[in-house]
Structure 1
Amino acid sequence: MSSGLELFDRVRRHAQAAPDRIAYVELAGGRTITYAELVDQVVSFSHESHGEVVPLRSANRIGFPIEYLTWLTRGRTVFPISIELADIEVASLQRQTSELRADGCMLLASSGTTGVPRIVCRDARSLDAVSRNMVDAIGFTPDDHVLAAVPLTHSYGVEHGLLAPLWAGSTVLLVDGMDWPVITRALRDVTIFPAVPSMIEMLAGSADGSLTMPKLRSVYSAGGPLPRAVSDCFSDRFGHRVGQVYGMTEIGSVTFNDPSREPFDPGSVGRPMNNVSIRVLDDGEIIVSAPSMLSSYVNDGTSVIDGHFRTGDVGHLDEHGRLTITGRVRLLIDTGGLKINPLEVESVIGLHPDVRECVVVPVKQSETVQRICAVIVARNASAPPSTESIRAFAKERLAAYKIPRLVQFRASLPRTATGKLQRHLVEVT
């Protein structure tokens, strides 16, 4: 039985037990769908799709879970694709998967270290395992109202806004984008809040004195480091400790730092979920074995050692078995929950006819948010390209969030004696 069928069987049981229970609410427009209606929509879905892989390029709308369940139950492979991606990026992803043959699984695009996004294949076993683990670890129930502010096209978003809530029979409140007035109103009814660090920071620093979360019982963050000062500020203001989830597209959600469990360390990402093995190599790199792991990359190998996936993150385990992340082996830049591979951006800007070479580096905007700066060596130093021309060139080829906010020019970039770029020596003025 595929994960889509097993998940849908659970949705059917929820519909039979409580047909009028709301499955999803679109907060901006007020549209709702009950569990019984969700089942009916999936069963009666009449649209056809060509090919084994079905792309789902959608905002957080009720149509997303309908199509997601429909195609999985029909044995197709679903491929959630961010609406933030440029058309040229979407076309590239679709070309790579056009001939793929896979039964009832999910594909997700993940940034790698080669400068080219890699496509992750998560099979039935993986999706089932991560659904069970999150329900067990976080405690999703039919009585919960879950805020889905993270895009469902992301691994974190689809796991915590679709897989786990539907497995448990919860109600999901959908937010399309960072609509803060809608989010703050919704928080009055939310019981589970999967957030990213920038959301925690903005709520903690909000000037809205009427903002309350009276029904909240679990708030947690993922997608990037959560600074202790931000976590403490949120806790002091709202009276809720902020947990953390650790995971990535390739392995799913694999740890949970439960705020209700003592001893609690707000700087940790918590203990491994069921059947998850975490090891730390001699150089500090974290490797993970989990039933929620990818089955493969599309047209690529995997970074696996003895059944453990190499995460590219650095950290340590304490005496309680809790994991703390201390750094990254990889180069990904976190811009408030969205990851940017600097090599990908550099390769695009390097195609500009007036650019000799380029390096992309992070610039701190706040405790949880970074922006990117392109530091460029022009082909003609006396007549360098304008910032506007660089950004316009990138806009045609990259998602909006990957376009550098800052562009600076240098006569040269720092390199070793062997010519290797020294990124850590590149300074933004």
Structure 2
Amino acid sequence: MTESEPTPVSFGRRISDLAAERPEAVALIFEPRPGGGRARVFSWADVERRSLQIAGLMHRRGVGQDAMVIVGLPNSPEHVFASLAAWKLGAGVLPLRWDLPEWERNRLIEVVKPRLVCGDWNEIPAARLSRVQLAASTEAPAEPLEDRIADPARAIASSGSTGLPKIIVKPGPGQGVPGAESGPFERDPEKAARSELVLSPLYHTNGFFIAHAALFGGDRVVLMERFDAAQAVDLIERHRIQNVTMVPTMLQRIARLPDLETRDFSSIEFVLQGGATCPGWLVRRWIELVGPESFVMSYGSTEGIGLAMISGAEWLDHPGSVGKAQDSEVRILDESGRSVSIGVIGEIFMRPTTDDAPGFEYVGAAPPKRSDEGFTSVGDMGWLDEGGYLFIADRRQDMIISGGANIFPAEVEAALSEHPEVFDCVVIGLPDEDWGHRVHALIHPRDADRPPSNTELRAHCRARLAAFKVPKAFEIVEHLPRTEAGKLNRSGLVTERSDETP
């Protein structure tokens, strides 16, 4: 007798099943920012009840099969419950930043045409559920619903470093097989639930996907209201966290904590890095903290065109790499669409190799580049070595051409980040009559009263970079306007400074 294929379960039904199996077990812990009050703890029965209550509110506002719901809330239990409620009704979910500028918010709403917006935005052309209304629904009926499958179930807004928003829709049903591999973590239904720390904003693909994948897998989610390096380490110790996903900015801020050597990371099984390339010194620091097999780096995109991964142990033999392609193929092409030689920088194109790989659609933006063979690029530059290991240079749109030479900001930023007095930095290209563009570094110092001097920073860079890559100027700033996901609007930084005299 052949084994039958496992039966997929809808996102909404999965929560109902877990609530029936382990009603009193802890599913979600919400940790407010430091000084923001006590943690809020929810069992699986609580999560089911709250999502059903909010689903009732949504249904009365016209949400049903194939509708789209925008969740424009800060990290909170209500964000999680609203997303689950929409899925229970067969609707798709688009998480958005709650603090979007009005022009961007209105443009996205016009493009998406949601049936409902969960958030505190006023004067919008859609039905709305405010945070107060969501919080006040605790006494509402929690009536069981007919099982429905959303399709599409997920969409994510992305603006990259350009500041121009687009919607990435992931076609495909909102269902999965419990216990199947999900991302880098295999979830065995026979084993005890893991603890997953979610410290990215839920409007970002890292936070949203990791949180809901963990819940679908039956794991316990510890959700931070807002990333704070010291609080994140406290939570890892307190909750015996096993899995956590971070972008390099988060990794760096934790690595700079003064008492890190005395902290307990023994519970950690996986620290997954994504979102951007990681400087070599930072990789080595985290390998020291959690071990080479527990630190995993990845390269991918919200579009899901392909994935590369590498463990810390493998990285030590291939420093700087983001690994080999996983269930996908990679090509490095020149501007004419021809493959480049090994070690030569070109544009990265990827293609999934699995038949069931989901596609994607852009809403409100032109489709990305595709090769004749079906490979897709999201604009990143890089190269392959002889062993097929992928290395990332930078995004094509961020590359600086100065005096005819190509300079990748990520390389310069990695060198600057090694300086012990640099808390954060970003490198941009400013228009220049002589050079075309000049390399300009913005420095957020560790100590604002004693920032490193231009001479010190220039010497530091010259020891690590070719002379033409060393910034022509260093600008000390009080802070860099990163989003909670660690993103920067580079084009905006350039515009602000493009008329300045060098």
Same fold by TM (over 0.5)?
A: yes
Q: Distance in 2 between matches of 1:110 and 1:268?
A: 25
Q: CA shift at 1:247, angstroms?
A: 1.7
**Are 1:122 and 1:294, in contact at CA under 8 Å, matched by a contact in 2?**
yes
Show the counterpart of 2:367.
302
Give the 3-state SS of the residue equivalent to 2:200 in structure 1.
coil
Question: How much identity, in percent, do the aligned residues show?
Answer: 20
Gaps of 5+ in 2: 1-6, 33-37, 116-149, 334-338, 341-345, 400-408, 418-425, 432-436, 446-480, 482-486
Q: CA shift at 1:9, angstroms?
A: 3.3
**Are 1:243 and 1:266, in contact at CA under 8 Å, matched by a contact in 2?**
no
CA RMSD of aligned residues (A): 4.1
Show the counterpart of 1:194.
245
What is the identity, as a one-letter code, of the residue corresponding to 2:209?
Answer: E
Show the counterpart of 2:281.
229
Show the counterpart of 1:279.
331
Q: Distance in 1 between matches of 2:75 and 2:305?
A: 20
What are the within-5 Å matches in structure 2 for residues 141-290 of structure 1? 142-162=192-212, 164-188=213-237, 189-209=240-260, 210-239=262-291, 242-251=295-304, 254-259=307-312, 265=318, 267-273=320-326, 275-281=327-333, 282=339, 284-290=346-352
What is the identity, as a one-letter code, of the residue corresponding to 1:269?
Answer: V
Gaps of 5+ in 1: 347-358, 368-393, 395-399, 413-428
What are the within-5 Å matches in structure 2 for residues 376-387 of structure 1? none
Q: 1:299 to 1:22 in 2, by over 3 A?
A: same
Q: Computing the radius of gyration over CA atoms, which structure comes out larger, 1 or 2?
A: 2
**Are 1:127 and 1:292, in contact at CA under 8 Å, matched by a contact in 2?**
no
Q: Which deviations, in whole Å up to 9, do the C-alpha atoms of 1:211-233 show, x marking residues without a partner? A: 22120111121111100111112
Q: CA shift at 1:126, angstroms?
A: 8.7
Does residue 1:37 correspond to 2:37, yes or no? no
Show the counterpart of 2:185.
138
Q: 1:39 to 1:195 in 2, by over 3 A?
A: same
Q: 1:54 to 1:286 in 2, by over 3 A?
A: same
Show the counterpart of 2:75.
60
Q: Which deviations, in whole Å up to 9, do the C-alpha atoms of 1:279-304 show, x marking residues without a partner? A: 32225221222355543111444223
Give the 3-state SS of the residue equivalent to 1:157 in structure 2.
helix
Show the counterpart of 1:421.
none
Q: 1:362 to 1:41 in 2, by over 3 A?
A: farther
Q: CA shift at 1:122, angstroms?
A: 1.0
Q: 1:34 to 1:263 in 2, by over 3 A?
A: same
Q: Which deviations, in whole Å up to 9, do the C-alpha atoms of 1:13-36 show, x marking residues without a partner? A: 433433333221112231122223
Does residue 1:14 correspond to 2:18, yes or no? yes
Q: Which deviations, in whole Å up to 9, do the C-alpha atoms of 1:88-114 show, x marking residues without a partner? A: 3212111111179x9442221112687
Q: CA shift at 1:270, angstroms?
A: 2.5
Deviates more, 1:205-214 or 1:227-236: 205-214
Q: Distance in 2 between matches of 1:60 and 1:280?
A: 38
**Are 1:27 and 1:182, in contact at CA under 8 Å, matched by a contact in 2?**
no
Q: Distance in 1 between matches of 2:385 and 2:175?
A: 29
Show the counterpart of 2:166.
118
- The one of the two structures with greater contact order (alpha-carbon pairs below 8 A, sep at least 6) is 1
Q: Distance in 2 between matches of 1:324 and 1:167?
A: 33
What is the identity, as a one-letter code, of the residue corresponding to 2:263?
Answer: L
What is the identity, as a one-letter code, of the residue corresponding to 1:204?
Answer: A
The match for 1:24 among 22, 25, 28 is 28
Q: Distance in 1 between matches of 2:25 and 2:376?
A: 39
Deviates more, 1:205-214 or 1:4-13: 4-13
Q: 1:365 to 1:294 in 2, by over 3 A?
A: farther
What is the identity, as a one-letter code, of the residue corresponding to 2:269?
Answer: R
Show the counterpart of 1:96.
111
Show the counterpart of 1:365.
443
Give the 3-state SS of the residue equivalent to 1:72 in structure 2.
helix
Does residue 1:69 correspond to 2:84, yes or no? yes
Show the counterpart of 2:472.
none
Q: CA shift at 1:366, angstroms?
A: 7.3
Deviates more, 1:305-314 or 1:71-80: 305-314
Q: 1:31 to 1:201 in 2, by over 3 A?
A: same
Q: Distance in 2 between matches of 1:405 and 1:299?
A: 24
Q: CA shift at 1:138, angstroms?
A: 2.7
Give the 3-state SS of the residue equivalent to 1:20 in structure 2.
coil
Q: Distance in 1 between matches of 2:170 and 2:374?
A: 15
Deviates more, 1:275-284 or 1:307-316: 275-284
Give the 3-state SS of the residue equivalent to 1:270 in structure 2.
strand
**Are 1:250 and 1:293, in contact at CA under 8 Å, matched by a contact in 2?**
no
Q: 1:146 to 1:57 in 2, by over 3 A?
A: same
Q: Which deviations, in whole Å up to 9, do the C-alpha atoms of 1:200-246 show, x marking residues without a partner? A: 11222210243221201111211111001111123234545532121
Q: CA shift at 1:191, angstroms?
A: 0.7
Q: 1:318 to 1:411 in 2, by over 3 A?
A: closer
